[in-house]
Amino acid sequence: MRSFEGLDEAALTALVRRFYTEVRADAELGPVFAAAVRDWDEHERRLVDFWTSSMLGSGRYRGNPAQSHLDHARRIRPELFARWLALWQRCSEDLLPPAQAAAVQERAARIGGHLQRLLAQA
């Protein structure tokens, strides 16, 4: 059985919305995202597609997250990843059962590590 059994699109949608509400209010992350995101509703829909594809296998996400982050490499300082992960952890723990929270946190940590390595080479 998967450790995130019971995780569904509604839960991921709520998590993404809560997370980006927190991101927008964050003194360090907010300005970085504000410079990159033109349409928050579209961004959140796209990230719900990403997370449902990643965690549930929906296959709806069509995009290149690596390139999206490379486009903003000058603004993304390495220490922002720790802040991003801590915020994701807090939001997921607030909204999801422990096993589901741990699963999305583990996936986010892997993604963050990959993006950090990629940006370090840019």
Domain holding 27: CATH number? 1.10.490.10
Report pTM. Answer: 0.89
Cβ(36)–Cβ(69) below 8 Å:
no
Domain that holds residue 108: 9-120
Classify residue 73 by burial, with Cβ atoms within 10 Å: 0-12, 13-18, 19+: middle
User: Could you tell me the CA-to-CA distances from 49 to 9, 28, 45 in Å, in that order?
Assistant: 9, 25, 6
Structural domain contains residue 103: yes
Structural domain contains residue 55: yes
Tally of domains in the chain: 1
Count of helices and strands (H, E) across the chain: 6, 0
Q: What is the pLDDT of residues 76-101, one digit of tens each?
A: 777 888 999 999 999 999 999 999 99
Structural domain contains residue 63: yes
CA separation for the pair 60, 89 (Å, rounded): 24
Q: Which residues of the chain have pLDDT under 70?
A: 1-3, 72-73, 122
CA separation for the pair 54, 31 (Å, rounded): 27
Structural domain contains residue 29: yes
